[in-house]
């Protein structure tokens, strides 16, 4: 016996709603297999749900598209911060600067290793520390680190901060639209379940096969179990040989 399967994707939900809506538009109320109250609810809801789907898809696609730019800007900022610290460490290794100079940048004076720059938070933290540390040294009359200079590092860092903030706004927009869509999904599932229950109840006096065929015209989906499909395939193969 095939079972009824409610939609579990947005495409399937909108397909089910449109199938029922089409029937509601094409048939007079006394021929319709669900109530006018249900039809009115479909009409009020379907456009809102479709718009929410489109808004979420648009926000998500924009976020994905901008993520490529964000990754490139982040990579550049990481590269310049890393190079600046490496040049600083080389100057210390040559004896041009004392290891204690690292303290100004928030670094361990006895540790020449690069700090972790793998996350957005790392780059925000260390970029700020490096810029503030170098500016403090220069204000004290010390010679600036060059190749790259802190001015170049700052440009790359500020570009990253700007893109990072925009990226966070896009993420928040996408999440807000997803939350809205999730709420509407619950309503869509409620409406579809109600439609299908009313439709099946309307055709309950028919045989099981006739009921399924009539209900399917309203968008109700039935699925055969694996063992039932095997039986159907077997019948299809055997019947032609009997005639």
Residue 112 has pLDDT above 90, yes or no: yes
**pLDDT (0 to 100) of residue 3:** 85
Q: How many residues does the chain have?
A: 243
Mean pLDDT of 97-126: 96
Mean pLDDT of 196-206: 97
**pLDDT (0 to 100) of residue 35:** 96
Phi, psi of 58 (to 5 degrees): -65, -45
Domain boundaries, the chain: 3-242
Structure tokens that stand for 193 in this block: 């379940």
**pLDDT (0 to 100) of residue 102:** 97
**The overall pTM is greater than 0.95:** no
Residue 237 has pLDDT above 70, yes or no: no
CA pair distance 27, 20, nearest whole angstrom: 11
CA pair distance 224, 214, nearest whole angstrom: 17
Whether residue 80 contacts residue 152, with contact meaning beta carbons closer than 8 Å, is answered with: yes
Using alpha carbons, select from 218, 204, 219 the residue that is nearest to residue 27: 218
What DSSP element (H or E) covers 3? Answer: strand 3-4
CA pair distance 37, 41, nearest whole angstrom: 6
Mean pLDDT of 164-168: 96
Mean of pLDDT over the chain? 92
């Amino acid at each position: 016996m095939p079972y009824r399967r409610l939609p579990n994707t947005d495409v399937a939900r909108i397909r089910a709603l449109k199938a029922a809506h089409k029937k509601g538009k094409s048939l007079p109320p006394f021929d319709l297999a669900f109530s006018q109250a249900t039809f009115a609810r479909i009409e009020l809801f379907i456009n809102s749900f479709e718009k929410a789907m489109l808004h979420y898809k648009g926000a998500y696609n924009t976020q994905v598209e901008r993520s490529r730019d964000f990754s490139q800007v982040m990579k550049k900022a990481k590269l310049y911060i890393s190079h600046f610290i490496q040049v600083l460490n080389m100057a210390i290794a040559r004896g041009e600067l004392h290891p204690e100079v690292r303290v100004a940048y928030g670094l361990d004076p006895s540790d020449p290793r690069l700090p972790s720059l793998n996350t957005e938070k790392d780059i925000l933290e260390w970029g700020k520390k490096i810029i503030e540390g170098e500016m403090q040294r220069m204000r004290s009359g010390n010679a600036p680190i060059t190749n790259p200079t802190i001015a170049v590092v700052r440009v790359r860092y500020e570009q990253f901060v700007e893109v990072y903030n925009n990226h966070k706004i896009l993420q928040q927009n996408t999440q807000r639209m997803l939350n809205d869509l999730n709420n509407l999904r619950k309503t869509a599932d409620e409406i579809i379940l109600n439609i299908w229950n009313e439709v099946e109840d309307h055709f309950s006096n028919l045989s099981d096969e006739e009921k399924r065929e009539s209900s399917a015209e309203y968008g109700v989906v039935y699925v055969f179990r694996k063992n039932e499909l095997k039986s159907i395939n077997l019948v299809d193969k055997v019947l032609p040989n009997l005639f």
